[in-house]
Amino acid sequence: MPRVSFFPDEKIVEVQVGENLLRAAMVAEVYINAPCAGEGTCGRCKVIVNKGEVETRATDKLTPEEKKEGYVLACLASVKSDLEVSIPRETRLGRPPELREKTPRAGRLLTALDWRNIWSGLQIDPRFKKLFLELTPPTLDDHLADLQRLNRELKRKHNLQVTQIDFEVLKSLSNILREADWKVTATILAEDNTAKITQVELGDATQEHYAVAIDVGTTTVVAELIDLGRGEPVARTSAYNSQVSCGADVISRMVYSAKPDGLRTLQELVIKTVDGLVEGLVKKAGIKPHLISHAVAAGNTIMLHFLFGLDPRRIREAPYIPVSTKFPWVKAKELGVKSIPYAYLSGYPCVASYVGGDVVAGVLASKMSEKDSLSLFIDIGTNGEIVLGNSDWLISAATSAGPAFEGGGVKFGMRAARGAIESVRIDSDTKEPIILTIGGAKPLGICGSGLVDTLAELFLSGIIDQKGKLNLDLKTPRLRKGTDGPEYVLAWAEDVATQKDIAITQVDLDNLIRAKAAIFAGIKLLSENTGVSLADIEEVYIAGAFGNYLEVEKVMTIGLLPEIPPEKFIFVGNGSLLGAYLATISSDVAKEAQDLAEKMTYLELSMDHNFMNEYISALFLPHTHMEMFPSVVEGLKTRSK
C-alpha cells in the first residue's frame, strides 16, 4: 500500500491506491481546511505534492503557476504511489467561509474595477511618509548629536520640523545611523502640526512601504495588506472575531465587558484576531513586517472601543455616550499586535455610539457626500445604520433593528454559509416552497436573504396576513403548531442535513417584521427630519456583505426599504474595509473621513416619539399605508389572479 507522508506535520499513513488525498489527510489527523466538504468547489484544500504521483480532476481553482509548483486540491486528488505532501500554511488555517460575490438580481454590485474608476483621481500620499536621507557624518567641527543631525537633514531637505520620535527608535538610532553609513530612510507621521519619526531604516528603503487596512466586524475581521508604493491591496485575509466566544452581537459583548476582567478579555481576543490576520498577510505577501508603517481599523464604535481597550459601558445607557469618537495613533505592539513591530494603529473616526467608523468609511468610499443629488446609505446589521444626504448635509441614525436579518432571534437562522437557504419561492396554490441553498448542499438553516424571501413569499402566497400572522386555517401539512407555536415548514427532515424539519415560526416572523419596521421607520424619520422626499433619492447604497444577496424587489415587498427603482441600488460590499484602505493611501481621504464624521449629524431615534409612530405604522406588510408601495400592491394583484 502506498505511504503518504505529510509535512510539516511529519505524519505518515498507509492507504489504498486510489484513495482520496483529503481523506488520507483526515486519517492521518492532518488538518486541512475544506469548507466545501470535498466537492472541489471552494478551492481551499490546496496542498503541494513534492514527490510521487496523484491522479487529479481538472479545476479552475488553481492558477497555472500553482499547478506548475505541484499544487493540487486534496479533495480532487487520488493517491497513485508513495507521496510526500506539504500543507501550505493557509491551507492549515481554519478560516471563515468567505461570502461569495455574486451579481445581485437587481441593482449594481461595485467590483474592484468599479472602485478603481470611482477613486481614479486619488493621489497616493499616505500619512506615514518614508524619506531617504544622506547625512553628513559628524566631525569634531560638526558635532551635532545623532537625533539633531537627523532632524537637521529632514528640515534641510524636506522642510520638516520634526519634534517627536518614537522612544524605542531613539534608543537604537545611533547604531542604525552608523551601520547605514549615515544613509537612512526615516518614516515620519506628519499630522496635527507635528511630525514624529516612527522608524529609521538602513539605506534607501522608500520603495518598500506597506500599510494594513482592517475591518473589525462583530462577526468577521478582514485585513488587507496595502502596497503604498503602488497604492494597491496586495493580499487579503479574514477570520472570525475571536470575541464571538463572549457573545454574538455587540450588545451581549458590552454586557460581557462589564464583568470582572471582561473588557480586558474582549480586547485581548480582538487583538489576537487582528494580530493573527496581520501575521498571515505578512507571510502571504512574503514581506518583512517592519515594512508596515501603520494600520487603520474601521469598525463600529463598540468594536473600536474594544480594540483600544476603552470601556463602552456608557454606550449602553441613555444618552448613549462613547468614551471617544476619535482614536489616537497607538503603537500596535503596545496594544498587543506584536507581528508589526514599528507600526502605529488608529481607528476610523465615528459619528456616535451607534453610527461608527465602519459607516463613515462606507459613506466616504461611496462618495455620496460629494454628490449634489440625494443618496441613502444603509448597512443592515444588528443596528441597521442609515445615512441620508448629499454634498451639503448628511444625517445618520441607527435603528436597533436587532439581529433578525443576520439570523439572530430566528429559530433556524444562520450566517450565509454552505447549506443556508438563500432563496425561497412559494407556490400560491399549493403553498409548497422551492428552496435554494448556498453551495447546493442539504439545507442547514436560513440566512438573511432567505429570511427576506421567506417573509415576502409567505405574504405574497397568502400564508401570512398583513400583520405577518400565519393562517393556520389553510390546508397544507407545512402549516402546523410546533413546539414553539405556529410555524411553516420550509424543508422536511428527510431533506435536511440535520434530519430535523426546518421551519419558520410565528415568533421568527414577528421578530423579522419588527426589524424591518425599525429600519423603514428610521429611513422615514430621517427624510421627515430633513424635509426631503424619499422619491428624490437618486442612489441607494447597500453596505455589508449581507447586502449583496438581497433581492431588491423582495426587500420592498416586505417594506424594509421604501419603493425605489431597483436600478438605483448600488451594493458597495465591504465599504468599511474600502474606506480603511483609502485612508491608508491618502492623507486627504483620512482628513476627509475626519471631516465627514464631524459633519454627519446623528439623530437619536430610541426616545423619539415620531419614530415610535412610524415604527408602529411599519409593523404591517408592506406598511399600514399601502399607497406608499404601489408596485407591491400591483404584485399582490398579479399573484392573486
Q: Could you say whether residue 26 binds a copy of itself (CB under 8 A)? A: no
Q: How far is CA 491 from CA 93, 283, 442, 465, in A?
A: 33, 44, 10, 22
To a copy of itself, the closest distance from the beta carbon of 352 in angstroms equals 6
Q: Could you say whether residue 190 binds a copy of itself (CB under 8 A)? A: no
To a copy of itself, the closest distance from the beta carbon of 614 in angstroms equals 17
Please select the residue that binds a copy of itself; options are 193, 483, 533, 638, rule is CB under 8 A.
193
CB 572 within 8 A of CB 362: yes
Q: How far is residue 496's CA from residue 297's CA, in Å, rounded to a whole number?
A: 40
Q: Could you say whether residue 171 binds a copy of itself (CB under 8 A)? A: yes
Q: How far is residue 547's CA from residue 550's CA, in Å, rounded to a whole number?
A: 5
CB 393 within 8 A of CB 375: no
Nearer to a copy of itself, 144 or 535 (CB): 144
Show the site string, 92-131: x = touches a copy of itself by CB under 8 A, - = not.
----------------------------------------
Q: At 73, is the secondary structure helix, strand, or coil?
A: strand
Give the pairing of strands 292-299 and 569-573: unpaired
Please select the residue that binds a copy of itself; options are 16, 103, 175, 613, rule is CB under 8 A.
175
Q: Which helix (H) or strand (E) holds 115?
A: helix 112-118
The residue type at 584: T
Q: What are phi and psi of 315, to 5 degrees?
A: -70, -25
Q: Could you say whether residue 153 binds a copy of itself (CB under 8 A)? A: no
Residue length of the chain: 641
What letter does residue 352 receive in the DSSP assignment?
Answer: B
Helix and strand element counts for the chain (H, E)? 19, 30
Q: Could you say whether residue 156 binds a copy of itself (CB under 8 A)? A: no
Residues 6 or more apart in contact with residue 575 via CB below 8 angstroms: 358, 361, 362, 363, 365, 366, 379, 541, 543, 544
Residues 6 or more apart in contact with residue 171 via CB below 8 angstroms: none
Please select the residue that binds a copy of itself; options are 108, 283, 326, 371, rule is CB under 8 A.
326
Q: How far is residue 284's CA from residue 258's CA, in Å, rounded to a whole number?
A: 37
Q: How far is residue 629's CA from residue 459's CA, in Å, rounded to a whole number?
A: 14
Q: At 411, is the secondary structure helix, strand, or coil?
A: coil
How far does the chain reach from its first CA to its final CA, in angstroms?
Answer: 67
Q: Could you say whether residue 159 binds a copy of itself (CB under 8 A)? A: no
Q: How far is residue 213's CA from residue 410's CA, in Å, rounded to a whole number?
A: 33
The residue type at 338: K
Q: Could you say whether residue 322 binds a copy of itself (CB under 8 A)? A: yes
Q: Could you say whether residue 164 binds a copy of itself (CB under 8 A)? A: yes
Rg (Cα) of the chain, in Å, rounded?
Answer: 27
Please select the residue that binds a copy of itself; options are 28, 76, 173, 250, rule is CB under 8 A.
173
Grid coordinates belonging to 49: 505534492
Nearer to a copy of itself, 293 or 325 (CB): 325
Q: Could you say whether residue 321 binds a copy of itself (CB under 8 A)? A: yes
To a copy of itself, the closest distance from the beta carbon of 325 in angstroms equals 4
Q: How far is residue 149's CA from residue 259's CA, in Å, rounded to a whole number?
A: 51
CB 400 within 8 A of CB 380: no
Show the site string, 275-304: x = touches a copy of itself by CB under 8 A, - = not.
------------------------------
Q: Could you say whether residue 320 binds a copy of itself (CB under 8 A)? A: yes
Interface with a copy of itself by CB under 8 A: which range of 163-171, 409-417, 441-449, 537-545? Answer: 163-171
The footprint of a copy of itself on residues 329-348 (CB under 8 A) is 330
To a copy of itself, the closest distance from the beta carbon of 183 in angstroms equals 17
Please select the residue that binds a copy of itself; options are 27, 48, 122, 147, rule is CB under 8 A.
147
Interface with a copy of itself by CB under 8 A: which range of 4-12, 83-91, 169-177, 201-209? Answer: 169-177
Q: Could you say whether residue 602 binds a copy of itself (CB under 8 A)? A: yes
CB 358 within 8 A of CB 215: yes
To a copy of itself, the closest distance from the beta carbon of 481 in angstroms equals 43
Backbone angle region of 223, left / alpha / beta, with phi > 0 → left and psi within -120 to 50 → alpha: beta
To a copy of itself, the closest distance from the beta carbon of 304 in angstroms equals 11
Q: Could you say whether residue 176 binds a copy of itself (CB under 8 A)? A: no
Q: Could you say whether residue 472 binds a copy of itself (CB under 8 A)? A: no
Please select the residue that binds a copy of itself; options are 10, 60, 65, 139, rule is CB under 8 A.
139
To a copy of itself, the closest distance from the beta carbon of 256 in angstroms equals 18
Please select the residue that binds a copy of itself; options are 48, 109, 190, 323, rule is CB under 8 A.
323
Q: How far is residue 307's CA from residue 263's CA, in Å, rounded to a whole number?
A: 10
To a copy of itself, the closest distance from the beta carbon of 372 in angstroms equals 29
Alpha helices in 294-377 (DSSP H): 301-308, 313-316, 332-335, 357-366
To a copy of itself, the closest distance from the beta carbon of 145 in angstroms equals 4
The cell 492623507 sits on which residue? 587
CB 197 within 8 A of CB 165: yes
The count of other CB atoms within 10 Å of the CB of residue 463 is 24
To a copy of itself, the closest distance from the beta carbon of 320 in angstroms equals 7
Q: Could you say whether residue 194 binds a copy of itself (CB under 8 A)? A: yes
Q: Could you say whether residue 261 binds a copy of itself (CB under 8 A)? A: no
Show the site string, 603-622: x = touches a copy of itself by CB under 8 A, - = not.
-x--x---------------
Please select the residue that binds a copy of itself; options are 8, 18, 94, 328, rule is CB under 8 A.
328
Interface with a copy of itself by CB under 8 A: which range of 320-328, 426-434, 510-518, 586-594? Answer: 320-328
Interface with a copy of itself by CB under 8 A: which range of 7-15, 49-57, 492-500, 602-610? Answer: 602-610
The reply to whether omega before 319 is within 30° of 0 (cis) is: yes
Interface with a copy of itself by CB under 8 A: which range of 174-182, 231-239, 438-446, 456-464? Answer: 174-182
Interface with a copy of itself by CB under 8 A: which range of 101-109, 172-180, 281-289, 461-469? Answer: 172-180
3-state secondary structure 160-192: CCCCEECHHHHHHHHHHHHHCCCEEEEEEEEEC
Using CB under 8 A, list all residues that contact a copy of itself.
138-141, 143-148, 163-165, 167, 170-171, 173-175, 178, 192-194, 309-311, 313-314, 318-326, 328, 330, 350, 352-353, 602, 604, 607
